[in-house]
């Protein structure tokens, strides 16, 4: 970790910068994949499975017997742990449902909003180094709660043509409608255009490598929306003398192990504490099975010493971290002042991994500074809110003249006339 | 209008298609504008004002005395009408505020969400044929309610270097922080990069021509987010024998007058009614001052006859109209079944213009089929929802083992260790 001592606020913007993602060459490659999937459907997906996943896929759709088999393969202890997470995530997201509230803005003028689940959604779950069944829970539970009618999940098969049993188990548990053995940019293309086996969806969720990220960006050119722009995962920990250095070190490493490009920032109020935590991080690092990832991302990480809490807060809001851990005194008061962050973890016994897995909050969060203008995934991400209004004759008599006057001032006489023609008919009522 | 009699559901997808927007050549032109504004700031904006608006601008920022002058120029009747709209829009959007709800998902595990206003937002208000002060209300009121700290509004000056007084008046009334005399793609570039006079913002809202639309798309490449993808305005009216043909005709025309590319669709349950409404539309058309726009957009409009209400509903959801007017019996029951629409107007005395101006709902709505996956603008559009969690020692003892088990199954041992190291320290407590 690079130690930075008392930077001045004028340096914050530079310090808060993430490394630029290189995406230029990807677009052409991913566009080619899109064109092939659009033209050839399932057969293109099978070709890509052969090429990229080294798998022969006869049937892209996971069958009920494969799901049954997966259920046998998942250990009971893991099933119980998933049940804890399932319950908490459901509790937290179900509380986000809003009742319809009819507002009579003027007598006889009634307006309201109704949340309606996006009809068809797609969830992408990467393969690769670890089976991310926790992301299945984080996306399929709110989709299900939102009332999405079709939830399609795509994940790449292994060389035996199988998806990891924990992913299948979690998907089935959360009410996913169909699970498709396809990964990478081709999976996003399939969700964008639809194929014989894959339903065309309205919105695509989920993490992935740079090909998947580019594919999601391209998908938005075809009327599909996406959860949010993607970037490497991040944590910012603020620790003072009330923190426990070995806990802080463990939290930094839990972020660093994600990948070589993970962003880890530590802020302490003294240099001594920073050094303690850095030493503790080194000590714990050697015990990790993902040592190499953690080590690589720590090289680019920063430990910043700032004694002034006002500066700390200013830096936090300038950086806009995906995850923010406040291991300090008066953490709740500090949390109140945070404007830009994805998810905030308060106190010494609230590790980020709680939110990653099981406490109930969502782990799909804005990275790369997007916490300034994006929320993490929530029930809101899976619904549209439609507005409704109903005006009766009395209501139109009251509100009508204001509409006529404004429409006239905007020189939109047909807008005005839609009111005038009705008011005229009411003249003798 | 083109009359379509009893199309089969298999034709719905084709019938629901919007004309393709041609955008290819725009990207290069707009990118050039972006580069100039990024490089030259205010001076580029002044050059563009000279070139596109034929205006010499000494000071881009509208001064307090210009606002004072505008207040004198707006008629009292219009001020009162704006006050009605202001009050109703405020009522409807303020009711969208959500209280913080702390959820104890397990004993000692407390999670919550908090809405925080996006710090800096930009609002674009086009110049052109009519002064769209109503859009100022629709965007600046929720921005203000959301607690956005800086609200920057850009609008092109006229040849005298002035912005229309009604726009200035509405902006000032709604708490806009700064008003800038710049329009078109250059305004969006200024909001994206910031200049000497214009604040760099996190999110950009507002309508515009194809250059503005392209500019908003490009802005998203620079970490800025936007309200939603734009397209021509639309209405779909479903009318049966309980409707009043001249009201329906007035509603169709109030959409058609927006521009040559406005989309207007009428569905009736009998051919006779369709013919009546079309005749009434022709009759009213001649009285409009925007006759040419209305006439041009009606040429591409469709009147569809469908006697089966189930088909009507299926078509509505396939088309996903920005505005949907239900002028039919049991309109409320039908409204319940609508999945895809921006805003729904129920009954014979609820013209679209009510929602366009003053009833309280927002008029910035998803077009071009985006009602399938986007909501209209609301208070939500101006906030991010940050999640928080606080776990105490007892809580971590209860939830910890599930986290450890899941992290282990995902092969993320540092994630597991962040919990284990804490649980170990609690062993003797």
Cα of B49 to nearest chain A Cα, Å: 23
Is residue B198 over pLDDT 70? yes
**What is chain A's Cα-based Rg?**
26
Burial A46-63 (b: 16+ CB within 10 A, else e): bebbeebbebebeebebe
Per CB-CB distance under 8 Å, the chain B contacts of A246 are 421
Same domain, residue pair A168 and A262: no
Same domain, residue pair A37 and A84: yes
Q: How far apart are alpha carbons B85 and A111 in whole angstroms?
A: 13
User: Interior CA angle at B326 toward B325 and B329, to 5°?
Assistant: 165
Confirm whether B7 is domain-assigned. no
Query: Residue A23: its pLDDT value, please?
Result: 66
Is residue B237 over pLDDT 70? yes
- Cβ contact B389–A354 (<8 Å): yes
Per CB-CB distance under 8 Å, the chain B contacts of A356 are 403, 407, 415
Where does a domain end: A201, A226, A251?
A226
Query: Residue A129: its pLDDT value, please?
Result: 64
E strand or H helix at A116:
strand A109-117
Q: Which residue of A has its CA nearest to B231?
A: A223
- Domain of A252, in residue numbers: 232-375
Same domain, residue pair B147 and B292: no
A197 is written with which tokens? Answer: 């086996």
Q: Identify which of A105, A360, A380 has the shortest CB distance to residue B103.
A: A360
Is residue B19 over pLDDT 90? no
Query: Residue A278: its pLDDT value, please?
Result: 96
Cα of B53 to nearest chain A Cα, Å: 20
Confirm whether B263 is domain-assigned. yes
Checking DSSP bridges between strand A103-106 and strand A109-117, what pairing results, if any? antiparallel
- Cβ contact B105–A111 (<8 Å): no
Query: Residue A130: its pLDDT value, please?
Result: 73
Confirm whether A143 is domain-assigned. yes
Interface predicted TM-score of the whole assembly (ipTM), two decimals: 0.97
- Cβ contact A253–B385 (<8 Å): no
A12 is written with which tokens? Answer: 């914050």
Looking at the DSSP assignment, which residues form a beta bridge with residue A2? A302
Q: How many domains does chain A have?
A: 3
Burial A165-185 (b: 16+ CB within 10 A, else e): bbbbbbbbbbebbbbbbbbbb
SS3 A202: coil
Where does a domain end: A226, A242, A277?
A226
Q: Identify which of A119, A288, A317 has the shortest CB distance to residue B339.
A: A119
Looking at the DSSP assignment, which residues form a beta bridge with residue B87? none
Same domain, residue pair B127 and B197: yes
Per CB-CB distance under 8 Å, the chain A contacts of B346 are 388-390
Q: Of A191, B166, B399, whose CA–CA distance to B407 is shortest?
A: B399
- Cβ contact B254–A98 (<8 Å): no
Whether the model pTM is above 0.90: yes
A351 is written with which tokens? Answer: 């590790």
Confirm whether A2 is domain-assigned. no
Is residue B130 over pLDDT 80? no
Confirm whether B16 is domain-assigned. no
Contacts of B337 (CB under 8 A, 6+ apart): B313
Same domain, residue pair B349 and B401: no
Contacts of A402 (CB under 8 A, 6+ apart): B80, B81, B84, B85, B357, B358
Q: pLDDT per position in chain A (429 positions), as tens?
A: 999 999 999 999 999 999 876 667 899 999 999 999 999 999 999 999 999 999 999 999 999 999 999 999 999 999 999 999 999 999 999 999 999 999 999 999 999 999 999 999 999 999 866 799 999 999 999 999 999 999 999 999 999 999 999 999 999 999 999 999 999 999 999 999 999 999 999 999 999 999 999 999 999 999 999 999 988 999 999 999 999 999 999 999 999 998 888 899 999 999 999 999 999 999 999 888 888 888 999 998 999 999 999 999 999 999 999 999 999 999 999 999 999 999 999 999 999 999 999 999 999 999 999 999 999 999 999 999 999 999 999 999 999 999 999 999 999 999 999 999 999 999 877
Q: Which residue of A has its CA nearest to B341?
A: A386
Is residue B227 over pLDDT 80? yes
Q: How far apart are alpha carbons B152 and B187 in whole angstroms?
A: 11
Estimate to the nearest angstrom the gap between the alpha carbon of A9 and the chain centroid. Answer: 30
Where does a domain end: B226, B244, B270?
B226
Confirm whether B4 is domain-assigned. no
Query: Residue A259: its pLDDT value, please?
Result: 85
Q: How far apart are alpha carbons B89 and B94 in whole angstroms?
A: 8
Which residues in chain B (134-173) have CB-CB distances under 8 A to chain A? 134, 166
CB half-sphere exposure, B345, CA atoms < 13 A: 30
- Cβ contact A109–B359 (<8 Å): yes
Per CB-CB distance under 8 Å, the chain A contacts of B85 are 402, 406
Q: Of A303, A318, A336, A57, whose CA–CA distance to A179 is shortest?
A: A57
Per CB-CB distance under 8 Å, the chain B contacts of A202 are 372-373
Which residues in chain B (88-117) have CB-CB distances under 8 A to chain A? 88, 91-92, 95-96, 98, 101, 103, 105-106, 109, 111, 113, 116
Question: To the nearest whole number, what is the mean pLDDT of chain B?
Answer: 96
Cα of B116 to nearest chain A Cα, Å: 6
Distances (CA, A) of B257 to A406, B263, B284: 16, 10, 12
Which residues in chain B (23-62) have CB-CB distances under 8 A to chain A? none
Q: Identify which of A87, A113, A389 has the shortest CB distance to residue B354.
A: A389
- Cβ contact A390–B80 (<8 Å): no
Residues of B forming the active site: 322-323
A283 and chain B in contact, CB less than 8 A: no
Q: How far apart are alpha carbons B429 and B418 in whole angstroms?
A: 18
- Please give the torsion angle defined by the CA atoms of residues B99, B104, B108 and B113, in that order, rounded to the nearest 10 degrees: -40
Per CB-CB distance under 8 Å, the chain B contacts of A418 are 247, 250-251, 253-254, 351-353
- Cβ contact A358–B419 (<8 Å): no
Mutate to test the interface with B, among A325, A402, A408, A419 (most CBs of B within 10 A): A402
Same domain, residue pair A342 and A399: no
- Cβ contact A257–B414 (<8 Å): yes
DSSP state of A97: -
Per CB-CB distance under 8 Å, the chain B contacts of A385 are 375-376, 378, 380
Which residues in chain B (209-248) have CB-CB distances under 8 A to chain A? 220, 223-225, 229, 244, 246-247
Q: What CATH number does the domain containing B411 carry?
A: 1.20.5.1300
Cα of B271 to nearest chain A Cα, Å: 23
For A195, left (φ over 0), alpha (ψ -120 to 50), or beta? Answer: beta
Query: Residue B45: its pLDDT value, please?
Result: 98
Looking at the DSSP assignment, which residues form a beta bridge with residue A104? A110
Same domain, residue pair B317 and B289: yes
B14 and chain A in contact, CB less than 8 A: no
User: Interior CA angle at B275 toward B270 and B281, to 5°?
Assistant: 130
Residue reference for tokens 């909003």: A113
Q: Identify which of A78, A341, A362 has the shortest CB distance to residue B409.
A: A78
Same domain, residue pair A180 and A265: no
Query: Residue B293: its pLDDT value, please?
Result: 86
Confirm whether B10 is domain-assigned. no
E strand or H helix at A388:
strand A383-391
Same domain, residue pair B153 and B172: yes
- Cβ contact A359–B105 (<8 Å): yes
Query: Residue B4: its pLDDT value, please?
Result: 96
Confirm whether A385 is domain-assigned. no
SS3 B384: strand
Phi, psi for A235 (deg, rounded to 5):
-135, 145
Same domain, residue pair B177 and B216: yes
* The 3-state secondary structure of chain B, one letter per residue: CEEEECCCHHHHHHHCCCCCCCCCCHHHHHHHHHHHHHHHCHHHHHHHHHHHHCCCCCCCECCHHHHHHHHHHCCHHHHHHHHHHHHHHHHHHHCCCCCCCCEEEECCEEEEEEEEECCEEEEECCCCCCCCHHHHHHHHHHHHHHCCCEEEEEECCCCCCCCCHHHHHHHHHCCCCEEEECCHHHHHHHHHHCCCCCCCCCEEECCCCHHHHHHHHHHHHHCCEECCCCCCCEEEEEECCCCCHHHHHHHHHHHHCCCCCCEEEEEECCHHHHHHHHHHHHHHHCCCCCHHHHHHHHHCCEEEECCCHHHHHHHHHHHCCCEEEEECCCHHHHHHCCCCCCEEEECCCCCHHHHHHCCCCCCCCCCCCHHHCCCCCCHHHHEEEEEEEEECHHHHHHHHHHHHHHHHHCCCHHHHHHHHHHHHHCCCC
| Strands laid side by side in the A323-327 sheet | A2-5, A302-305, A263-268, A234-239, A323-327, A343-346, B383-391, B109-117, B103-106
Q: How far apart are alpha carbons B392 and A99 in whole angstroms?
A: 32
- Cβ contact A402–B81 (<8 Å): yes
Same domain, residue pair A36 and A143: yes
Q: Of A403, A22, A428, whose CA–CA distance to A211 is shortest?
A: A22
Per CB-CB distance under 8 Å, the chain A contacts of B246 are 421
Query: Residue A132: its pLDDT value, please?
Result: 94
DSSP string over B60-87 = SBPPHHHHHHHHHHS-HHHHHHHHHHHH
B80 and chain A in contact, CB less than 8 A: yes
Burial B201-220 (b: 16+ CB within 10 A, else e): bbbbbbbbbbbbbbbbbbbe
Residues of A forming the active site: 322-323
Report yes or no: A391 and B354 within 8 Å, Cβ to Cβ.
yes
Same domain, residue pair B222 and B236: no
Query: Residue B23: its pLDDT value, please?
Result: 67
Helix axis angle for B165-173 and B64-73, nearest 10°, is 110
Q: Which residue of A has its CA nearest to B226?
A: A373
Q: How confident is the model at residue B134 (pLDDT cuts 50, 70, 90)?
A: very high
Query: Residue B129: its pLDDT value, please?
Result: 64
Q: What CATH number does the domain containing B55 carry?
A: 3.40.50.1980
Mutate to test the interface with A, among B13, B200, B325, B409 (most CBs of A within 10 A): B409
Q: Which residue of A has its CA nearest to B81?
A: A402
Contacts of B199 (CB under 8 A, 6+ apart): B120, B122, B150, B152, B177, B178, B191
A133 and chain B in contact, CB less than 8 A: yes
Per CB-CB distance under 8 Å, the chain B contacts of A224 are 373
SS3 A334: helix
How buried is residue B76: exposed, middle or buried, by Cβ count under 10 Å (0-12/13-18/19+)?
A: exposed
Q: Which residue of B has its CA nearest to A318?
A: B119
Q: Identify which of B250, B290, B335 has the shortest CB distance to residue A418.
A: B250
- Cβ contact A130–B410 (<8 Å): yes
Q: How far apart are alpha carbons B175 and B151 in whole angstroms?
A: 8
A33 is written with which tokens? Answer: 């994949």
């Amino acid at each position: 970790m690079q130690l930075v001592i008392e930077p001045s606020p004028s340096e914050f913007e530079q310090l808060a910068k993430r490394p630029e993602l290189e995406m230029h060459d990807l677009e052409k490659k991913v566009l080619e994949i899109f064109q092939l999937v659009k033209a050839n459907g399932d057969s293109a997906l099978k070709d890509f499975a052969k090429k990229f996943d080294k798998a022969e896929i006869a049937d892209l759709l996971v069958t009920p017997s494969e799901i049954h088999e997966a259920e046998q393969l998942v250990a009971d202890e893991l099933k119980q742990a998933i049940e804890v997470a399932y319950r908490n995530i459901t509790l937290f997201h179900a509380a986000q449902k809003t009742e319809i509230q009819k507002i009579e803005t003027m007598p006889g003028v009634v307006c309201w909003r109704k949340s309606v689940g996006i009809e068809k959604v797609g969830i992408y779950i990467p393969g690769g180094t670890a089976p991310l069944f926790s992301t299945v829970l984080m996306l399929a539970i709110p989709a299900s709660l939102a009332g999405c009618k079709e939830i399609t999940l795509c994940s790449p098969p292994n060389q035996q043509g199988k998806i990891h049993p924990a992913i299948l188990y979690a998907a089935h548990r959360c009410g996913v409608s169909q699970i498709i053995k396809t990964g990478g940019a081709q999976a996003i293309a399939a969700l964008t255009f639809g194929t014989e086996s894959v339903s065309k969806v309205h919105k695509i969720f989920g993490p992935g490598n740079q090909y998947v990220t580019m594919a999601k960006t391209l998908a938005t050119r075809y009327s599909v929306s996406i959860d949010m722009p993607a970037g490497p995962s991040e944590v910012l920990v603020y620790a003072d003398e009330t923190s426990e250095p070995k806990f802080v070190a463990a939290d930094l490493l839990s972020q660093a192990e994600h990948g070589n490009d993970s962003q880890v920032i530590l802020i302490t109020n003294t240099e001594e504490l920073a050094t303690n935590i850095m030493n503790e991080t080194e000590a714990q690092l050697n015990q990790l099975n993902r040592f190499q990832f953690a080590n690589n991302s720590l090289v680019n990480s920063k430990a910043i010493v700032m004694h002034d809490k006002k500066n700390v807060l200013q830096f936090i809001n300038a950086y806009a971290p995906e995850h923010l851990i406040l291991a300090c005194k008066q953490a709740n008061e500090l949390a109140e002042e945070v404007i830009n962050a994805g998810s905030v973890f308060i106190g010494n016994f609230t590790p980020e991994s709680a939110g990653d897995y099981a406490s109930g909050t969502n782990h799909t969060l804005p990275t790369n500074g997007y916490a300034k203008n994006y929320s993490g995934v929530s029930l809101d991400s899976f619904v549209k809110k439609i507005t409704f209004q109903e005006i009766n004759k009395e209501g139109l008599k009251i509100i009508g003249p204001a509409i006529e006057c404004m429409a006239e001032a905007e020189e939109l006489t047909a807008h005005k006339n839609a009111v005038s023609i009705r008011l005229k008919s009411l003249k003798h009522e």
